[in-house]
Structure 1
């Protein structure tokens, strides 16, 4: 039996959720240590587990990994979700970086007193800057890069679902993305992750926001 993968983060989406998605699609079981107190966070600092004093923290292959991009790169490489060659990886990274930019705009919304102007800005940028890129890329191909499932596809599905939670109907002008979404949700691992009882986290609520603020006293975290 292999070594267990352990995720340390808050009981919410934030920066860890994309990592959960990748592990789920790769079929990797993981356990979670949920940060609920300042003392837990301070112990991680004292023990030297957080290189830059930030979570997420992922324990995998006898390593303690921090920094979201580094963690996702490792998982994608380990489980063949990062393309066949260097050129494919460059495209996957570009798509992923764009998607993370958009998702991070959504992640901060629960921490903003008046999110309405931010939501309007997200809608404008999504429709004018981000979604057209993926609509064009999916004009024909089943997947974004190299004819096979990659982390870029996983992140696009996650991002598109996040957008629809905040802006229902936003994909009405992007039929290729909507069709892609339908195909992706038929993947057995994804279907399981989207189903009841999975480790996918719900939309952030006041309890999550309060916990993050109390643990970090308060750095803006996601």
Structure 2
């Protein structure tokens, strides 16, 4: 079995889905979080950070960059990428939809001016999140409300959960607007193989 070391900041961000994959798989790994001021000093190390960015997953000491590539690789290794090619394709489709939504919500998260931020939030809910969030809401409702693919947690459930974990605290109306997604989120939080991890993870920034 390979040894794994995940290197990222002490935040959830782009590494949280990877941490959740390890938790779901029951796989031991080192969750290395940069100390304050450490990143500028080490990011020039091309053996550890070949692209000068993070997160990076070290597999037996060899660096793998790009969170999407990391997550897809681990999901395949741990049997979390669907039971067949059709399920894997569905996982990919939902994953790309999440990326579309992230691109729309990030400007809202980074906006400092409160008035402008409210305007961006309203625009996100009324316009730019569509058709993406309605599509995901319909998918999970059609799938029965608990898992996006198959009858157990997979990569896609983790990826969507991380998205909702980012959106729901920021947009108060989102849970009411998308009740199937809200139900899925609560179910994964309270009654899943990830519940212990989610309830005991460090209370760091998202």
| TM-score category (smaller protein) | 0.7 to 0.9
Residue of structure 2 in register with 1:43 after alignment: 42
Gaps of 5+ in 2: none
Greater CA deviation, 67-76 or 134-143?
Answer: 134-143
Matched, 1:179 2:183: yes
CA contact (8 A) 2:140 2:180 kept: yes
Tell me by how many angstroms 1:152 deviates: 1.0
1:169 pairs with 170, 173, 178, which one?
173
CA contact (8 A) 2:101 2:133 kept: no
Matched, 1:202 2:190: no
Cα distance between partner residues in 2 of 1:4 and 1:201: 25
1:52-83 per-residue CA deviation (whole Å, 9 max, x = no partner) reads 21111112344311011110111111111111
2:131 pairs with 129, 132, 151, which one?
129
Residue of structure 2 in register with 1:145 after alignment: 149
1:14-70 per-residue CA deviation (whole Å, 9 max, x = no partner) reads 212222222222223333333345564443423522222111111234431101111
Residue of structure 2 in register with 1:68 after alignment: 67
Change (3 A) 1:146 1:110: closer
Tell me by how many angstroms 1:193 deviates: 2.1
CA RMSD of aligned residues (A): 2.7
TM-score, normalized by length of structure 2? 0.81
Greater CA deviation, 32-41 or 9-18?
Answer: 32-41
Matched, 1:99 2:101: no
Cα distance between partner residues in 2 of 1:126 and 1:147: 31
- SS of equivalent residue, structure 1 residue 65: strand
CA contact (8 A) 1:82 1:150 kept: yes
- SS of equivalent residue, structure 1 residue 54: coil
Matched, 1:158 2:157: no
Gaps of 5+ in 1: 204-222
- The number of equivalent residue pairs is 201
- Say which structure, 1 or 2, has more relative contact order (CA 8 Å, 6+ apart): 1
